[in-house]
Structure 1
Amino acid sequence: MKLLFVGTNPENTGATSHFVALAQAMAVAGHQVGAVVYPDGLIWQGLAGSDVRLSKAKFRNAFDLRGYLAVIRAARQLKPDWLVGNFGKEYWPLILIGRLLRIPVALFRHRTPPMKRLSGWLIPRLAQRFLAVSEHARQAYLDRGVPSHLVRVLYNPVNMAQCRPDSQRRREILRALGLDEQAIVLGYSGRMHGGKGIFPLFEAASAAMAQQPRLHCLWLGDGPDAAALRERAAADPTADRHHFLGWIPDVLPYYSALSMLAFPSVATETFGRVSVEAQAAGVPVLGSDIGGIPETLQAGVTGLLLPPGDVAAWREAILKLCDPALLASMGAAAHDYVEQHFSMLVIAGQFLQILSGD
């Protein structure tokens, strides 16, 4: 099958990671894949060196004629069986181009609540395939009155090779942090703002540190509340056990340094790619029981689901996972779980089935 992906968003978002991983997955599965992307942006960098044929374009908005021309030119060269879109500003252009060139269109939606009411009503009906990235996200459209048969679910694929554990990398990261190999490292990776639950997580982690002297917390990310979190940590007796590295362009190597990952959101999440990536690296996940997060792990087997914002429950869960035997068993189960449900070839096969079905 020939697929032309269109994604000219230059920003670093979950949809960007999804775009790169899915395009790579379809290419690895043996399909002919092209991508029209923002020149030298994060998607371009992510796909450079892969088997995906890249073309440059910018869609400033849905009326940008230069974007239309770039997609039409790439489509005439590749002659794809499907156009695939991932970003809202390109939904209408792809639907119009698809009609013009008689190519079916598959569109992914990553956000809830849904689009503006008119677009939210029309786009799932005009695209030949409309896909949400979780059952939670799908339900948002059904609640708006979109017929259930029009909204399919396809989870984010994960490149297992890129996420594999690396003991040498773990030693290097721990050494850079001034930690020995016996350290227990709780990790957080993501935006630093209140809705992500970073402040309850800090309180829970600091309380757990009072009982577990080998416990440290590694914070990866930046955002509007990063400074406030750093100030709170600096004033805490556990200050030297909270390690802030800021925004990291490629967090995948850092999973090797983690003993467990926290996904503590108090605001709803559409999915939770970081949870799946960490488990692929053999890292158990502590996740909030909210939104699409429960769909990313097997509770009690590959991690634990916890009440959002409940500091006492999170403290106890962190301490529970400080048990080396439990960490090892959950980590092994986590890797197997992701390989069976979210690996590139698994998701590529499901996507092909969705595109090929009625």
Structure 2
Amino acid sequence: MLIAWLNANPNPNFGGTELHTLQMIKELSKRKVPLVLLCAEGSYVDRNAPKGIEKFYLTIGNSLALYNTLKLYQLLKHIKPYVLVANNGKEYPNALLAGKLASVRVAFFRHMERMKNPLVRRFVFPYVDMFFAVSDHVRQKLIQEGVKPDKVRVIYNPVDEERFYYKPKEENSIRILFVGKLDEGKGIFDLLEAFRLLMTERKDVTLVYVGDGKHKESLFQRIHSLGLTQKVKLVGYTHNVEDYYRNAHVVVIPSKYTEAFPRVALEALACGCTLVASDVGGTKEAIIEGKNGFVFRAGDIEDLLLKLKLAIENWKSFSQASLELYRNKFSTDRVIDNFLGALQSLSKVI
């Protein structure tokens, strides 16, 4: 069952699809699943692909890359894969056309809630053999867009378990962690205000923000004006984010606008963190209410404060529940098993 994995965006830096591609092919390679990588030469995916992976180079920077669509078709005729897997929305039209011309099954990962381009929804989606949605929330959105339910499987994002793993947490202080873009829509100021209120009752808590964004300076100024510089730390971007997860007791995802399923939630579970998340998007799928965390109403600071207090009070038992949930539902082994099982079901296609 040879898989041709397409991620031909020439992006020299990483994004969600690049990280997903690399982790998936790494885990598939461990199981010795036959796989070739179709990527742009010099891209982040090319530079960081596991050693030993056979690569073919082409670039698809947009949906109108007709010359490279022809090149992709020629590669598929030469490689003769069981399935072509595309991981980036910009590649969908090219991948579908080349795959169908080459009589190859075509499967798309869907990381976002909605495909903005109506032409892709109208003329591409109906002809895809299978979609892999990164959450049940995304699955429901695809079905609402007209994709047949039996063509959509939920395959959660894999976590790099060599980096993200549990270690016992300090018991004399409580660390609250935010990981993500420092943008207002991510709820960073709501979290800060809830933390300020929490500080009136508890002195054993600290808050760490990991990430960069357009509101980083505004957040810094707000922290300073509240006199919280000794209790709130802005780390910025770091290559060692796993260290902060392992030391954190509670991870907060306070997004005010909908999320498909943030990788942060899975990394937090793998490190045994209690989760507190807003009620938008697919993040709720990582929480069993009152067992490993709590969901609060997006934008409601009082509700966030209440759920933070409860999470802190129960962090020890919640930490173990997060680990159990991760192992039973989101572990890398479970993700790869479900992915390969879904591919097997494509045998009747073509």
TM-score, structure 2 length as denominator? 0.89
The correspondence of residues 29-40 of structure 1 with structure 2, limited to 5 A, is: 29-40=31-42
Task: Summarize deviations over 1:131-173 as a string: whole Å, max 9, x none.
Answer: 2222222222322333333333222122333211356xx8xxx
- 1:81 Cα deviation from its structure 2 partner: 1.0
Contact 2:174 2:312 in 1 (8 A): yes
Contact 1:21 1:344 in 2 (8 A): no
- C-alpha distance in 1 between matches for 2:58 and 2:203: 52
- C-alpha distance in 2 between matches for 1:340 and 1:53: 32
- 1:47 Cα deviation from its structure 2 partner: 3.0
Residue from 3, 15, 36 that aligns with 1:13: 15
Contact 2:164 2:267 in 1 (8 A): yes
The structure-2 alpha-carbon separation of the partners of 1:353 and 1:282, relative to structure 1 and needing over 3 Å to count, comes to: same
Residue from 23, 26, 35 that aligns with 2:25: 23
- C-alpha distance in 2 between matches for 1:242 and 1:70: 52
- C-alpha distance in 2 between matches for 1:116 and 1:45: 30
SS at match of 1:162: coil
The correspondence of residues 102-141 of structure 1 with structure 2, limited to 5 A, is: 102-141=103-142
Match of 2:318 in 1: 330
- 1:95 Cα deviation from its structure 2 partner: 1.1
- C-alpha distance in 2 between matches for 1:328 and 1:282: 9
Match of 1:173 in 2: none
- C-alpha distance in 2 between matches for 1:337 and 1:30: 27
- 1:46 Cα deviation from its structure 2 partner: 4.5
- 1:93 Cα deviation from its structure 2 partner: 1.3
The structure-2 alpha-carbon separation of the partners of 1:32 and 1:252, relative to structure 1 and needing over 3 Å to count, comes to: farther
The correspondence of residues 75-154 of structure 1 with structure 2, limited to 5 A, is: 75=76, 78-154=79-155
Structure 1 unaligned regions, length at least 5? 171-179
Task: Summarize deviations over 1:97-138 as a string: whole Å, max 9, x none.
Answer: 212322111111222233322211232221111222222222
- 1:331 Cα deviation from its structure 2 partner: 1.0
- 1:96 Cα deviation from its structure 2 partner: 1.7
SS at match of 1:163: coil
Task: Summarize deviations over 1:282-328 as a string: whole Å, max 9, x none.
Answer: 111111112111112222212111111211122222223333xx222
Match of 1:176 in 2: none
Q: Report the residue type matching 1:305 in the other structure.
A: V
- 1:77 Cα deviation from its structure 2 partner: 6.2
Contact 1:272 1:296 in 2 (8 A): no
- C-alpha distance in 2 between matches for 1:243 and 1:39: 38
Paired-residue identity, %: 26
Is 1:220 paired with 2:222? no
Contact 2:8 2:59 in 1 (8 A): yes
SS at match of 2:233: strand
- C-alpha distance in 2 between matches for 1:117 and 1:55: 31
Match of 2:291 in 1: 301
- C-alpha distance in 2 between matches for 1:54 and 1:288: 41
The structure-2 alpha-carbon separation of the partners of 1:46 and 1:298, relative to structure 1 and needing over 3 Å to count, comes to: farther
- 1:65 Cα deviation from its structure 2 partner: 5.1
RMSD: 2.4
Contact 1:220 1:245 in 2 (8 A): yes
- 1:7 Cα deviation from its structure 2 partner: 1.0
TM-score, structure 1 length as denominator? 0.87
Residue from 241, 260, 275 that aligns with 1:251: 241
Match of 1:177 in 2: none
SS at match of 2:132: strand
Q: Report the residue type matching 2:17 in the other structure.
A: A
Task: Summarize deviations over 1:195-230 as a string: whole Å, max 9, x none.
Answer: 111111110012112221121111011112222111
The structure-2 alpha-carbon separation of the partners of 1:319 and 1:228, relative to structure 1 and needing over 3 Å to count, comes to: same
Match of 2:280 in 1: 290
Task: Summarize deviations over 1:60-101 as a string: whole Å, max 9, x none.
Answer: 223335644664565466532111011111111111221232
- C-alpha distance in 1 between matches for 2:164 and 2:124: 35
The correspondence of residues 125-274 of structure 1 with structure 2, limited to 5 A, is: 125-166=126-167, 182-274=172-264
- 1:242 Cα deviation from its structure 2 partner: 0.9
Task: Summarize deviations over 1:257-280 as a string: whole Å, max 9, x none.
Answer: 211100111101111211111110
- 1:40 Cα deviation from its structure 2 partner: 4.3
SS at match of 1:160: coil
